[in-house]
Amino acid sequence: MNPPDKEELFRIKEAIERLGITHAIITSVTRDDLADGGAGHFADCVNILKGIKGSAKIEVLVPDFCGDRKAIEKVISARPDIFSHNLETAPRLYSKVRPGADYRRSLEILKYAKALDKGIITKSGIMVGLGEFREEVRGVMADIRAVGCDIVTVGQYLKPGPDCLDVEEFLEPWEFDKFSEWARELGFKKYYCGPFVRSSYVF
């Protein structure tokens, strides 16, 4: 893959300013080919976007950086408003849904981010409809909250392409109301649960 394009960051800044965006979510493909997993590029982007006039919130939605704490430190040092990393699904389904990822490692990333900066908002998302049991959804939500995560999103998985995983189940809207009830009981500061909710949902 090509090295990160530093000019990209200034184009992002220009787009945010021209469009009047008040909440920007910065994410990327996984870059395990880079020594820091792309953490430096995330940090540079946050620092550049902080130069935007006004009060745009900057959220980073990061990969797991293979659990590299120095990479997490690099991103947190740039002080984004929100640090987001998705758990996606129940641990039982990780080999199918997130091959190469590790459930506990993802939890540790959220936990370490909060330990580095207790004032930062942390966020994670879950997809449903992949064959998980309802109690597994609650278990993932509980695990996310246990590491100090502030915001959770729960949305229906929709197959984005022919080579992607099939949808195992389309949940009824009332089930997402139940997920919201669980989130409230678990003590999340904010939660968004609905068929069309995505992890990039903003508050």
The answer to whether residues 87 and 50 belong to one domain is no
Tally the domains of the chain: 2
CA dihedral 78, 84, 86, 91 (to 10 degrees): 80
> Would you say residue 70 lies in a domain?
yes
What is the torsional sign of CA 170, 98, 64, 48? negative
Q: How does DSSP classify residue 92?
A: G
| Within a domain: 188 | yes
Whether 36 and 87 map to the same domain: the answer is no
- Give the range of the structural domain holding residue 44, as residue numbers without chain letter: 1-80
- 53 or 180, greater pLDDT: 180
Q: Do 63 and 90 have their domain in common? A: no
Do 87 and 130 share a domain, yes or no?
yes
Looking at the structure, do residues 188 and 172 belong to the same domain, yes or no? yes
pLDDT at position 199 is 87
Strand order in the sheet with 151-156: 23-27, 57-61, 82-84, 121-128, 151-156, 190-194
Are 93 and 156 in the same domain? yes
Cα–Cα dist 124/72, whole Å:
15
Mean pLDDT score, 134-161: 97
Question: What value does the mean pLDDT take over residues 191-195?
Answer: 96
